[in-house]
Every structure is written in structure tokens, then in C-alpha cells.
């Protein structure tokens, strides 16, 4: 049981704008501090990176950042997407569910940002915090029962949402600098990042994204009539959240908000851009087609839009 819960958790992995610091990464992308140093409380331990099945997991995030991935010169289309990785609010699956997706978006002319949001304290990355253990037990029991109830807020979710709100504000404030239309800023969230994206989609209007992608995330309510339009995707064989895509879609539809639903026969929990030979392999293309239909990106050369 504990082994299964830990794997699920890893699968969930799979002050003012002028004072925010900027550093350069080896790849040439910019990393922006969301807050001036010392503004938010530290967990009191160093950030830790751990490798799991080829993914880089980041634990103990106290200093949230945005990593910027810009399209090639002349190819930006004015749309921006903030990518929120998963990790159960304990860790962040930063590469497969973050930078790889951001690079794919940038190749399609989208200015992408990976949000490294705050996590809860994990004294030992090899051992899940007790509070998260209980959360995962609850999710697994919910999946087994099939009872369509909303998952309680996770420990750490509130801080992550604060970081999402801050990220939205920064991207819109600096939109001209990045060649972005401040009315075309979306959030694409995976697993725990999907919960974060849903929170933003139904939250305060000032920080609400213009669209969201909720990828194997979960329900957050109530959904207002002016919530963000949503692209929703998940897999029927998701061991932990098999019903959440339908719950999300039903809530969006009930509120009269535009939504598109994709439930793949196979894909499990934590499918990303890594080919698995499963129907879920095509989610990114379908997300881009949805964005095309909404006028957020243009069809690739050689194909009519």
C-alpha cells in the first residue's frame, strides 16, 4: 500500500515586479523569482533534486520561480501558457511535466513559462510526509469506491495557488516585454498542477487565466459562469483519479462554461510527452488543435486552420 501511494505521489510529480530577480540558465532561458528574496517564509531546509525513472523531482521549494521559454525570433504568436507540473504539492516533476512541455509549446509559437511553486516540507525525499500519506490514502479509497466526491484541499495547495496568482500577474504585467497579449495567458496543469490550474480558473477574476488545460487533475468548485474555458484530459485506467475528468467536465458544463473533454482508454496517471504506445500519446496535439479552434495559435504551415 505504502509503495503504491509513493508511486502515485511521484506520478503526481511525474514584492513588486521591478524587484523580482532574474538569472540565466545554461539553456539560455530566463528564471524569474516570483518574490524578492525573504518575502515568503522558508521551509528551513535546502531545496533537493532527486531522479526517479528519468524524471527530475524537486522537493522543499521555498523560493518559487518562473522559467521562461520563448519561441524562435519571429515565430511568437502572442499567446502565453504557464505550465504547472505535478507532484502532490510535495515535489515537482519539473522536466517531463514542465520544461519538456514548455519547449514543445515554444516550438508552436507559444511563449511558455514553467512555474516552480512552493511545496510542503519533505525532511527525507525517500519518505513521504505523514500528511501527504493520509491524502494519498484518501484519494486511493475514493478511486476504489467510485463515489464522485471532491478531494479536500491538499496541504500546500494554498501556497501553490498564491504562487500561481503571482505568476499570472507577472506575465500580464510584463506581457509587452515578451510579445504576449495579456488577454491570452493560460495555465496548463498536470495532476497537482491541474488542481492549481482549476483553482485559478474559478478564482479571483483579476488573476483568472484566459484558458486552462486540466491534465489528470481534479475537481475544484464552485465553478462560476465566467470561469476559464477548459481543455480536460485524463485516462480511464488512471488508478487514482479515473473519474475526475468527467467530474470536471460536468461542473464546467453545468456552469455553462466552454469545455472540451478527452478520456483516453489507456494512459494511466502521469502521462506526459513520453510516448507510451497508448491513446493518451496524442493529448498534446489535441490540446494544440483546441487552441487553434479558439484562435490562440495558428495551424502549422501546410495544414489549413
Q: Is the pLDDT of residue 235 over 50?
A: yes
Least trusted range by pLDDT, from 37-51, 59-73, 178-192: 37-51
Q: What is the mean pLDDT of residues 226-251?
A: 96
Query: In the chain, what percentage of residues exceed pLDDT 70?
Result: 89
Q: What local confidence, expressed as pLDDT, does residue 304 receive?
A: 53
pLDDT digits (tens, 9 = 90+) for 89-146: 999 999 999 999 999 999 999 999 999 999 999 988 878 899 999 999 999 898 888 8
Structural domain boundaries of the chain?
2-293
Q: What local confidence, expressed as pLDDT, does residue 303 receive?
A: 57
**3-state secondary structure at position 69:** strand
Q: Is the pLDDT of residue 248 over 60?
A: yes
pLDDT digits (tens, 9 = 90+) for 139-148: 989 888 888 8
Q: What local confidence, expressed as pLDDT, does residue 116 receive?
A: 98
**3-state secondary structure at position 185:** strand
Other CB atoms within 10 A of residue 11 CB: 26
Q: What is the mean pLDDT of residues 154-176?
A: 98
Compute the distance between CA of residue 91 and CA of residue 112 in angstroms, rounded to an integer: 21
**3-state secondary structure at position 43:** coil
Q: Which grid coordinates are listed for 292?
A: 487553434
Whether the model clears a pTM of 0.85, i.e. scores above it, the answer is yes
Q: Which grid coordinates are listed for 261?
A: 473533454
pLDDT band at 29 (very low <50, low <70, confident <90, very high): low
Domain 2-293 has CATH 3.40.50.1820: yes
Amino acid at each position: 500500500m505504502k509503495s503504491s501511494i509513493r508511486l502515485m505521489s511521484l506520478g503526481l510529480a511525474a514584492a513588486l515586479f521591478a524587484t523580482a530577480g532574474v538569472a540565466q540558465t545554461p539553456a539560455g532561458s530566463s528564471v524569474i523569482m516570483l518574490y524578492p528574496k525573504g518575502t515568503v517564509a522558508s521551509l528551513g531546509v535546502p531545496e533537493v533534486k532527486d531522479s526517479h525513472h528519468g524524471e527530475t523531482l524537486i522537493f522543499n521549494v521555498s523560493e518559487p520561480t518562473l522559467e521562461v521559454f520563448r519561441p524562435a525570433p519571429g515565430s511568437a504568436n502572442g499567446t502565453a501558457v504557464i505550465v504547472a507540473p505535478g507532484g502532490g504539492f510535495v515535489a515537482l516533476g519539473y522536466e517531463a511535466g514542465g520544461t519538456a512541455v514548455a519547449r514543445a509549446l515554444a516550438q508552436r509559437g507559444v511563449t511558455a513559462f514553467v512555474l516552480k511553486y512552493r511545496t510542503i516540507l519533505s525532511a527525507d525525499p525517500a519518505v513521504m510526509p505523514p500528511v501527504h500519506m493520509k491524502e494519498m490514502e484518501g484519494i486511493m479509497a475514493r478511486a476504489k469506491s467510485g463515489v464522485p466526491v471532491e478531494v479536500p484541499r491538499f496541504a500546500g495547495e494554498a501556497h501553490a495557488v498564491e504562487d500561481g496568482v503571482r505568476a499570472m500577474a507577472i506575465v500580464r504585467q510584463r506581457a509587452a516585454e515578451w510579445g504576449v497579449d495579456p488577454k491570452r495567458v493560460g495555465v496548463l496543469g498536470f495532476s497537482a498542477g491541474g488542481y492549481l490550474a482549476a483553482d485559478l480558473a474559478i478564482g479571483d477574476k483579476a488573476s483568472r487565466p484566459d484558458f486552462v488545460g486540466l491534465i489528470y487533475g481534479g475537481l475544484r468548485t464552485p465553478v462560476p459562469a465566467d470561469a476559464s474555458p477548459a481543455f480536460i484530459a485524463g485516462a480511464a485506467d488512471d488508478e487514482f483519479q479515473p473519474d475526475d475528468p468527467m467530474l470536471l467536465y460536468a461542473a464546467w458544463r453545468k456552469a455553462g462554461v466552454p469545455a472540451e473533454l478527452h478520456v483516453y482508454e489507456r494512459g494511466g496517471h502521469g502521462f506526459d510527452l513520453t510516448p507510451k504506445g497508448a491513446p493518451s500519446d496524442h493529448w498534446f496535439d489535441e490540446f494544440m488543435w483546441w487552441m487553434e479552434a479558439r484562435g490562440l495559435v495558428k495551424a502549422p504551415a501546410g495544414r489549413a486552420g
